[in-house]
Structure 1
């Protein structure tokens, strides 16, 4: 399994600062974005947020506020690193992997999907815990849809052998 956590992202801040001296800094930044996305499947799954972080730096370059560039570059690096490790919620897992909630629940219970913890959600004054899933694992599964297909085939085989329904698996 390709482990995003073992692939430490390149030092983004120093590379961002180096783009200032490039003849085409925006092109250089786009290349850096592509390099980050190539190294981290969890960042690819959060592309809009990644683009927004780098857009801050590009805007600063365009304003020619060089005094603030290093601070912004360091901030972008910290945020990109945090973003690459931020776990996914059940809704995000379903959307990314194209699975049903029933499949998510069953695969979590039997250990195929690893829940990494919970977050506290406050909705309309009510607090409740939401399970979260490892960004690295979900990123890997999104790149290996054959694994999801194999899990579905295995579930279908079990259902057929035991004469169960889909509802029986999730209970």
Structure 2
């Protein structure tokens, strides 16, 4: 089973390689030369689990903040970083953290998707680990970058 990883891009745009008579657009991706960070070094499984937790805690939909389609699909408007920041920003991160810690520790939602390096982490440490990744995504959006599937 192939596991997908996110990647962030400086910019993405589409061109018609054979002019106006082209049948399909081709994506042109401007990479940011990331050598590996908390966003792109892990698979997308953690994100779906954390997105459900965030929705349950404060009603925010993290999944709508990413481009899920393959870049070779005919272009549809990509979810732009500025619109993501209207939905998920530093204030939302703060609310998410507050909502999590407002629940008594024994009743907090469990994060089950783990990696070898975090098997020893408590549920609270796993929550903070995932929240740190979402904070990094917010920082990337502030810089105008896109997050989606590799091209």
TM-score by length of 2: 0.30
Name the TM-score, length of structure 1 as normaliser.
0.27
**Bigger proportion of residues as helix:** 1
Q: Which has the higher contact order (CA 8 A, sep 6+)?
A: 2
